[in-house]
Structure 1
């Protein structure tokens, strides 16, 4: 394999035509992508401790989300869960992705290599239990989060739902070099623009987080549940763009 052939590859392991690679090239289209979002206020000091500059903290608000993705081009069928922090950047409201846990190997590799999503292997699940929408996250055999919401109690304004899903989103990418020192240390930004909101609802909600050494969601404790949403969408995953290079700075 020649140098130019290597540089055309998306990821390793090398195979022709990309049959053995960790993930296929995009674009990545998601059909019937379903969100359960629980927004809550947490401890201000704990919140500040995990928000990297130049992002700024206004109010310590966290969105715990469980996302069901039954039809993802190139990636298949999987579920994802994590915490997204409400921040500001240059005076504009934005989201910062703090943690993500999912059950799909190609999506983990894609998120970490081709973008900056902080993805780890986990066991999230989204299902309807009688009259309740239930989102759970297990790490190994242990439960680390349980979210419940009344199923489709009230319609949610579609523009409000769209703004929640399509907010400017920041992520931190850290890749060590072979000597252990940082080789990549970047803050990147994405924003979903190719988005159709097919339905949105709200209702009463609760969230429980359980202590775990390696899935420390409870380090941002639930002090007050502020709201909840259940949103059904079709969307295309956007590419990330560099905002801040910590090594250059």
Structure 2
């Protein structure tokens, strides 16, 4: 292969790339969201500067994606901290678990989604919406919500889905030191909410060394929503470069 042809490649393996070029449109994406209050100190230990925490709130999410361009069908589970960047309210993604290789590889390589291998499910059990996450053969999380108890205003549902998202992009160099260490921002766009509901909810988190959702314990359920939508993910943009500032003084001018 000529050098000019190497530069034409999108990603590896050559001839059978791990994922295809976007944009990626998600149709009939179904959310189970549970926002809960946790321990402030535990959350502060995980949220990086210059993001700030006003209230120690976490959103647990299970997303069922039956029709995604380039990725196919899969279910994903994540945990996000409610944060603020300056005057902008948003969420910092702590972890995401799924069993779809193209979505894992693209999420990590193209953007900064903190994706790992896990098995998530979202289904209806009689009158209950149920979301689960297993890591290997062990249960990590079980979420339950009353199925479509009350409608949620569609504009509020769209705002909930479209909240700005912050993530850490960390790539080590060949010396072992970070080659890239950045805080990036992304946001869901072209949102069409097809249905949204609220209801009573409960969330159980189980201790696991490699899927530590329970490090942010559930102290109080704040809200729960069930949202059905079409949407598109926008590319990530750089908002803070940790390698461009002194390590002990993020945000200070040089």
TM-score range, shorter chain: over 0.9
Per-residue deviation, residues 70-93 of structure 1 (Å, max 9, x unmatched): 001010010100101100001221
Among residues 170, 180, 184, which one is paired with 1:174 in the alignment? 170
Matching residue of 2:12:
12
Matched, 1:65 2:40: no
Q: CA offsets, 1:131-182, max 9 Å, x none?
A: 0000000000000000000000000011111111101110001111111111
How far residue 239 of structure 1 moved from its aligned partner, in angstroms, is: 0.5
1:124 correspondence with 2:123: no
1:39-96 superposed Cα distances (whole Å, 9 cap, x missing partner) = 0000000010000111011101000000000001010010100101100001221111
SS of equivalent to 1:194: strand
Which deviations, in whole Å up to 9, do the C-alpha atoms of 1:220-239 show, x marking residues without a partner?
Answer: 00000001000000011110
Aligned pairs for 1:143-182 (under 5 A) are 143-182=139-178
Structure 1: where are the runs of 5+ without partners?
none
Match of 1:42 in 2: 38
Name the counterpart of 1:225: 221
Distance in 2 (CA, whole Å) between partners of 1:25 and 1:9 is: 11
TM-score, structure 2 normalization: 0.95
Are 2:22 and 1:26 aligned? yes
Give the distance between the partners of 1:228 and 1:2, measured in 2 at CA: 54
SS in 2 for 1:65: strand
**CA RMSD of superposed structures (Å):** 0.7
Greater shift, 204-213 or 83-92, is seen at: 83-92
Local SS of the residue matching 2:20: coil
Q: Which moved more, 1:146-155 or 1:185-194?
A: 185-194
Distance in 2 (alpha carbons) for counterparts of 1:194 and 1:6: 34
**Partners of 1:2 and 1:90 in 2: how far apart?**
47
Cα distance in 1 for partners of 2:121, 2:7 equals: 37
Aligned residues: 245
TM-score norm. by structure 1 comes to 0.97
1:74 aligns with 2:70: yes
Cα distance in 1, alignment partners of residues 121 and 239 from structure 2: 33
What is the CA-CA distance between 1:192 and the residue it aligns to? 1.4
Does residue 1:101 correspond to 2:97, yes or no? yes
